[in-house]
Amino acid sequence: MSAVSSVRASKTRAAWPVWAVAIFFAILYSYAFWAGIGNAIGVPQSVWASYHLGISVTGWILLVFGVILSPAVFVVGLLLGRGRGILARALIFAAGLCVVSAVLGSLLIAPILVNFIA
């Protein structure tokens, strides 16, 4: 019985660094998430205020994609990191954060490349 309890104790002791890394990267991913929500709310209002026009279907797809991307990549990072060491999990989260930043950075220039305003 003592061997089982020591294995359980070692698993619980090793669990908190995993959660700490996940929470740290969740905070970093949340910045991109809230930026996507801010864009989805603010861009249509500013386009209407400036030009009295609406957003095209392509524009709405890009805005919704900007909101969905960050949580989706974070969940994929959680799934890919299962059963790996703490450093591997941190690197997976960091790589996902780089992907999110690159895609959202390219979405900032998308209105110039696509007919964003209807």
pLDDT tens string, the chain, 118 residues long: the values are 555 555 555 555 568 899 999 999 999 999 999 998 998 898 888 877 877 778 888 888 888 998 999 999 999 999 999 989 999 999 999 999 999 999 888 877 766 665 555 5
Q: Residue written as tokens 């959680």?
A: 78
**What integer pLDDT is reported at residue 67 of this predicted model?**
94
The Cα–Cα gap between 19 and 11 comes to 13
Q: Are 55 and 110 in contact (CB under 8 A)?
A: no
